[in-house]
Every structure is written in structure tokens, then in C-alpha cells.
Amino acid sequence: MKTQSSSSPFTKNQSARPQPSNDAATGLLAFITRLHFYVGLFVGPFIFIAALTGTLYVLTPKVEQQLYQQELTTPSRGTFHPLAEQIRAARESLPQDLQLKAVRPSVGQGYTTRVMFIDPDLYGYESQTVFVDPVTLDVRGKLASYGTSGILPLRIKLDYLHQNLLLGSWGRYYSELAASWLWIAAAGGLVLWWTSRRRYQRANQRNDFIRQRRRHVQAGLVIVLGIFFISATGLTWSKWAGSNIAEWRRAIGWVTPSVSRDLPGVGLSADSGGEDHSHAHAAHQPEPLQTLSPNRLSDTQFDEVLLTARNAGIDAAKLEIVPSKSADKAWLVREIDRSWPTQVDSVAVDARRMVVTSRADFADFPLIAKLIRWGIDAHMGVLFGLPNQLLLGAFGLTLCMMVVWGYRMWWKRRPPAGAPVRTLLQTWLAMPSFYRGVTVVVAVLLGLGMPVMGISLLFFIGVDTLRWWRAKQMRRASAVSL
């Protein structure tokens, strides 16, 4: 396909007045070229920061394990104390009485148990975590932990840096901006490469601009599938686009199954309900409802709840026990091993009768729900462990270099002072009316689905309008002086 050199953002001569194109494809290509340039110029720094901080996050699990070895491991070997005693040791180590949030039992000899508390002095969903030696009941340390992965202070900071630049909820707009435009930039780059590949093959390969472009293009072709993957999975965590994606998934039934913690027939006798008693203890009678309250009385039930869950098939080494917060709610026992093979089964346990009232098994998840689970875990670098982390690290560094090479390309071909103004609006006006209408419809739909992208597009248009107006004023002034 033939292209016009005037459509390139790096050409030095172009009329300030839009010229309608007789070639619809050429006009569209000029628009894509200019949009790709704008995304690189304005969004490139945010993409660079997101890629760099994400790379730091995925490459530091081993660093974290070494840094917090004192808390995570223990030299003790022997018989484990009951969870109730481990929780009591954790409580006694705290300067104040905190509400128990969850317990993650030791995964085996040499590893500590995590007893997690809700601490109002911590940020967001962080937990005050006490690391208890299950053999000696010694407290190995106290640290903040966060998320299902249970990351500790070092990676919590890196995670927040990646999410929001340590700016809180306002900072999340930066990462959503990067994720929203990343896939659009990749799609536009593919079009530009395909339509100009022959022309640049004949170009002087010793030219510095050509070398930078070749590196930019080759790197992009290598990681293009990863760009679409990272952008899509990243958007699921974003504030605005993520909410729209969640609503869309619910509308079409792509919802990940989860257990219900509602207890049917609370207050009735054990025999009056229709629950499955296959995992109950034969002689176990209903206990007073106050044992389910979030105080120390419920600590004694952790061992029995865990046994009930084990009997129900919860067999992963990594799991979490979450007590109920009220008498009408069940306890939650869930597997949290998101490596391969994935173990994320979960059950709800009625702690009055020690029966499973609800369950969600990963093997029974719809294929889409499994793919979503695997996609998110791969994005975080936990699905395949170290190979996953190294692959993401290479991807992130390559993406950073692509941004650098893109800026070097622009610097080499930047317009000289006084050159005619080139704008996105000009290329849009030069397209046939049908194409202009299609681009408007697509922009509106994408803007509604990804509001941060839509607002930033309005910013692009605002910059365009301002530059067009200033160029018009300068032409008028020049005409008057003549």
C-alpha cells in the first residue's frame, strides 16, 4: 500500500491546512500515524514508568524471601501446636487487642504460621501479620502483609508504586492511562509497520533514525502479544475501566464462581435444615451462636474448621482460614496456591455444626473463568514461578527500551522552529466522511468503556485546537506584516 510521506510525524514539510485525500486508505493511515505519535509523546512516560515498576515487582520475590527470612522461616523441627495456641501466642505479642482477620497455617516444617489482624493504623487492605513458630510458639516477627499473595513491606511499596506511584487513589489514573492506550499504540504500530515495511527495507540502514526505528519495530514485533495481554489484564484492575469490565462480565455470565457464606436456617436445629452433613462429626451438636463472634472465643474453632475443610478436599499446602464476622455467616477456607497447577478451591464451613455449606472448585470453573484466573496470575508473575517472572522482566525492560527508542526517533526528526503545525485534527479532516464517522463512533465507544482514555483523547484534541489556533494567529500576523 502506498503511503504519503506527509502523513509521518517526522516529516518537516506539511501544509497547515488539511488536504482531503482521494485515497481513503492513505488518509486513514495518516490519521493512525499521527495518533500513534501522540500516544508515544504524551502517554509514553506513563507506559515507561508502569513497565519499569512492574518489572521491579515481578523480579523481587526471591529478594523478599531473603530479606524477611527471619519472619518466614524457623530452624525448629517437630510437632506443630494447635492453631488455637499459635493464635494465642500471636495475640499476646501485640501491644493492643486487634480483630483477627485470617490465619495462614505453616506450609510445612521450617516455615512459620501467619496470624493476620485488622490494624486501623495500616493502609487499605494491609494486615498486621504475626509470624509464629508452629513448633515452639515463638513469635519470629511482625510485618504488614497485603493481598492473596501475602507480599511483605518491600514488595508492598513496589506494588503501590506500580499501581499509583504512592499517591493513593488519585495515582491509579496513571496506570489506567498507560493500560488503556498501550494496546491501541501496539495496534497502530502493527499497521504502520505492515504498510511501510518495504519502503524502510530500502532505506539507508546507517542513518541513525532508521536504526532507532528498526530497533523500535523489531522489539515491538517480539513482544506485541505480551503488550495486548498485559494491557487487557491490567485494565481488569483499573478503577474505571475495571468496573466496566466487571459489569460486562456479569452481563454475559463470565463471573468467577465463589462460595456463599450465608448460613441457611440460622437459629434452627441441626436436623431441620437440608444441608449436606456428609463432612460433619456424627455427634457434633450446634454450639451457641456467640462462638462465631469475632473475639477470642472463636480462636478455639480454627483447628476444627481446618479439619472439616481438609475432609472436604481442601488439600493444598497454602491456604487461608477466614473466621466469620457475624453469627449468620460461615467461615471461609480457601486454597491460595496460584502457581501451576493452580489450587484455588474454597469452602464455606458452618462452625456451629462443622459442615460444609458451600464450595467452589477450580476444576468446575467455566473455561473463561479459568483463563481469567490464569491471566491475572501470569500478569503478577506467580503462575509458573521463576520462568514467569523472568519472562515478564524481559518484557518490561523491552517495553521501556521501545519508549526510549521512540523518543529518540522523534528527537532525530523533530520539526524545526517555525515549521508548519501538524495536528491530529488535520489528518482527521483529510479523511473521507465515512472514515471520520467511523472513528468518532469508535472513539465514543472506547471512551465510554475506558473513561481515562476518553478524557486523555479530549486532552489530545485540546492540544490540537490550541496549536491550530496559535498557528492561525501567526499566519494572520504574517499576512498583516506583508
Q: What global pTM score does this model have?
A: 0.85
Q: Tell me, what's the pLDDT at 297?
A: 61
Give the span between the Cα atoms of 271 and 108, in whole angstroms: 38
Query: Please, which contacts does 111-117 make with residues 24 or more away whose CB atoms are closer than 8 Å?
Result: 111/72, 111/73, 111/74, 112/71, 112/72, 112/73, 112/74, 112/140, 113/83, 113/86, 114/145, 114/150, 115/86, 115/87, 115/90, 115/91, 116/145, 117/90
Q: Tell me, what's the pLDDT at 482?
A: 60
Give the span between the Cα atoms of 350 and 378, in whole angstroms: 34
Q: Tell me, what's the pLDDT at 291?
A: 40
- Give the angle 317-319-323 at the CA atoms, nearest 5°: 145
Q: Tell me, what's the pLDDT at 106?
A: 98
Q: Tell me, what's the pLDDT at 448?
A: 95
Query: Which backbone phi and psi does 329 adopt, to 5 degrees?
Result: -120, 150
Residue 316 contacts residue 341 (beta carbons within 8 Å):
no
Give the span between the Cα atoms of 28 and 12, in whole angstroms: 20
What is the mean pLDDT for each group of 10 consecutive residues in the chain (482 residues)? 38 42 78 94 96 97 96 97 97 95 97 97 94 98 95 97 93 95 97 89 80 94 97 94 93 91 64 35 36 61 97 97 93 96 96 96 94 95 96 98 95 79 86 93 96 94 85 75 63
Domains within the chain, CATH numbers bracketed: 5-56+168-250+388-481 (no CATH), 69-151 (no CATH), 289-364 (3.10.450)
Coil, helix or strand for 66?
A: helix
Cα 211 from chain centroid (whole Å): 34
Q: Tell me, what's the pLDDT at 266?
A: 59
> Which residues on neighbouring strands pair with residue 104, listed in sequence order?
114
Q: Tell me, what's the pLDDT at 481?
A: 66
Residue 133 contacts residue 140 (beta carbons within 8 Å):
yes
| Helix or strand (DSSP H, E) at 319 | strand 319-322
Which residue bears the cell 525448629? 76
Tell how strand 331-335 and strand 346-350 pair up: antiparallel
